[in-house]
Structure 1
């Protein structure tokens, strides 16, 4: 699937296994981790190994690593610092998930560049068997609407609830956004296409008692 996409776009690629490095890390950590079950620590470790490898390639060949985290992920903190959040420039960081799907459909208007299966499969970080984004986040179609109203339109909880959104859902999403500011503060520059791109377009206190 990914190979087909890369071939369609004419992008060269290399496949580098991370399992040997991951196994060495987990073996080194075993005396401290003990018999604790597999958790987000091991999930993020996989992402950080990938991040270190692609940064090494960037250093070795003098390239800029383009980060592909989207605005929905950055807003909610659904990303791994020093892992999939690594990079020198965020090319999709000002586009919500549903906007990226729309952009992909536009790119496919004359011929299939992005394989259909990529657009129809359930989004996943693929850090554990059967993992789906929906395990951790609301459906993107709903999430993006609330994020847009909160970030671009600067609508607060009362206004969002008046629009018909459930109070519990609003509190959950806004809480995710506010708690993730420390991650965004360490993120690379983003190509801005909206009035409220993260970074210079929207700065909030990293430590603050506001909206959860």
Structure 2
């Protein structure tokens, strides 16, 4: 914990769970939102733990992984960047435990919300409930995108689609934080690390992608063509 967050002044408010609420809507809520910081490699919560809190990722990057008992392995199911939400399983009363393990890929800052208080607010205030429904709809669209655009097809198309999606809010040619190792990207996309490394090397050789440290610079037009978008 690093202190309480001021949601009224936060530049991330339109990407948070309170997106769609005005300052007039937020002022009387009395919801305490805590700021937390995680170093790279730290675990925020583990699969199967009680879902007591939900989070908005304010900076950094995280992965959500699922342990598959029958194969005794962990599989990355989502890669998260700033503005993404996680840990909201507890809003569904039928799911009281986290469905994933959340791990920081890079130093990350998050907002923490108590799910009991958030559930109570959603029951008492229609605008809060409406905001939650809107964010659930966004999460559903994100899942559909991953299934349709990223989760099938050749490696070149999948990697290109992922890069365009990851960098989507940045202009063409901008340098974007990208603290994702080839192994993690390969695990998420369902290919070998060697295959993903070859694809990225081809993209870089053709000038579609540049990398510097934990940042990436992409050219949208050729990558979207490869992705079939």
TM-score normalised by the chain length of structure 2: 0.32
Relative contact order higher in (CA < 8 Å, ≥ 6 apart): 1
Q: Which has the higher helix share?
A: 1
TM-score normalised by the chain length of structure 1: 0.33
